[in-house]
Amino acid sequence: MQHVIQSAAQSRTCSHLPLFILRCIIVANKMATSASASLSKAVKQQYMELPQGDKVQAMYIWIDGTGEGLRCKTRTLDSEPKSIEDLPEWNFDGSSTYQSEGSNSDMYLIPAAMFRDPFRKDPNKLVLCEVLKYNRKPTETNLRLTCKKVMDMVADQHPWFGMEQEYTILGTDGHPFGWPSNGFPGPQGPYYCGVGADKAYGRDIVEAHYRACLYAGVQICGTNAEVMPAQWEFQVGPCEGIDMGDHLWVARFILHRVCEDFGVVTSFDPKPIPGNWNGAGCHTNFSTKEMREDGGLKAIEDSIERLAKRHSYHIRAYDPKGGLDNARRLTGRHETSNIHEFSAGVANRGASIRIPRNVGQEKKGYFEDRRPSANCDPYSVTEALIRTCLLNEEGDEPADY
C-alpha cells in the first residue's frame, strides 16, 4: 500500500486526483517531528543576534541517573572563562534526574571539560561536568572519576583511543527516519556509505552535527552512512586518556541538540529494529606508545590474550545494563560476535577483537574492540581496557586502587 501511495504522489496524473486523496498521500508520508521544530527559526535568530555585552552563557552538561541520558542548564558568567579553573561549581535538583531523593536532592556539578558552544557561538561555552552527591561522593553514574584515576596511572604509556559511534535517526514517534510509515524500506545492501535520496536518510543532520563538533573543538575525525537506512556513524579520536570519554559525551550532546533543532530524535539503542537489520555499536580502537612503535604487534597480541581471559567483565562494562542491551545485538550475525564467546582475528568483523590488515602487515599499530554497544559509557569502556591490558588485572571484578 505504501508503494502505491508513493507512486501516486510521484505520478504525472497526481494533479487530477481529488484533494482528499492528495491530503491522504501527504499525511501517509509525513514524518513525525516535534512541535518546536515548526517554530520560526528566523524569529529566534533576531534575538540570537542581539549583543550580549561582556557576559558569557555557559551551558553545564551532565550524565543523569540512567547512565545514558544527558541534562543541561545555563548560567551567566561575568567574563569568558579561559580554563576549567575559571568555571564555578553549580548544583541541581537530583530528584528530577533519577539521582537522589526529594528530601535531600541538591547535587553538585563539577566542571571537567570545556568546549566552544556551536549553538550560541563564541564566547559562549559548553561545560561537561562530573556529578557529586551532597556528601561530595560521586553518583553511581559518575564513571569519570575512577576512569581519570586509572588513566593517570598509565599516563606514561600514552593510551590512545578512537571510538566509532553508531546511531539511528528516529521520528518523535520512534519510527526510523525516512522509513515507510506502514512498512519497511528495501533490504540492507545499498545504504552503507550510500549516496542519493533513496539511500541516505537524514544527511542534513549528519552534516550539521559534523560542523558543530568541529566548531566546538570535539576531536571528530569522520562520519559515514551505516548498513541500516537511517543509521549513521561518526568517529571521535584519536584521543589520549580521559579525553576520549569527554569528547564522545560532548559529541553525543551536540547530536541530541542538532536533532532537537530538526525536530527528530537520535537513538543509541544497540538494536533499535528487531529482525534482519544491523544493530548499533561503538567499536573502540586502542593503542599504546609501545603498540604504535616497531614490533608493537607483540604488545597487541599480549593485550588480546589478557582480554580473552576477562570476556565476561568486559561485556558487563560495555553497556549501561551490564550486558543486557548488548545481548540483543551481539548474536553472531550482522557483523557481530556472539556475546558468550571471545574471538579475535585479522580483518574479521565477526570477531570480538579485530586486528586491521595493515596492522598485521606492519607489525605495529592498534586493535579494535567491536563489543561495546552504541549506548555504552565511554569512561567505562576505556577504563576496562586500561585495567585489563595495561594494569594486568584478572577476574570478574575491577581492582580498587
CA distances from 296 to 200, 293, 300, 386 (A): 39, 5, 6, 17
Q: How large is the C-alpha radius of gyration of the chain?
A: 23
**pLDDT single digits (tens) 61-98:** 999 999 999 999 999 999 999 999 999 999 999 999 99
CA proximity to 366, closest of 307, 316, 270, 293: 293
Q: Which helix (H) or strand (E) holds 261?
A: helix 243-262
Residue 26 has pLDDT above 60, yes or no: no
CA distances from 396 to 245, 330, 401 (A): 23, 20, 16
Beta bridge partners of 92: 107
Residue 9 has pLDDT above 80, yes or no: no
Mean pLDDT, the chain, integer: 92
CB atoms < 10 A from the CB of 363, how many? 12
Backbone angles phi, psi at 57, to 5 degrees: -95, 125
Give CA–CA dist 222/81, Å, rounded.
Answer: 29
Omega within 30 of 0 (cis) for the link into 238: yes
* Percent above pLDDT 90 for the chain: 88
CB atoms < 10 A from the CB of 15, how many? 7
pLDDT at site 29:
54
Mean pLDDT throughout 180-190? 93
Give CA–CA dist 384/322, Å, rounded.
Answer: 13
Query: Which amino acid is located at 266 in the chain?
Result: T
Residue 22 has pLDDT above 60, yes or no: no
Question: pTM, whole model, 2 decimals?
Answer: 0.92
pLDDT at site 101:
83
Q: Are the C-beta atoms of residues 242 and 144 closer than 8 Å to each other?
A: yes
**pLDDT single digits (tens) 114-154:** 999 999 999 999 999 999 999 999 999 999 999 999 999 99
Quick one: CA torsion of 368, 369, 371, 377, rounded to 10 degrees? -110
Residue 190 has pLDDT above 70, yes or no: yes
Q: Which three cell numbers stand for residue 261?
A: 533543532
**pLDDT single digits (tens) 204-256:** 999 999 999 999 999 999 999 999 999 999 999 999 999 999 999 999 999 99
Mean pLDDT throughout 262-269? 97
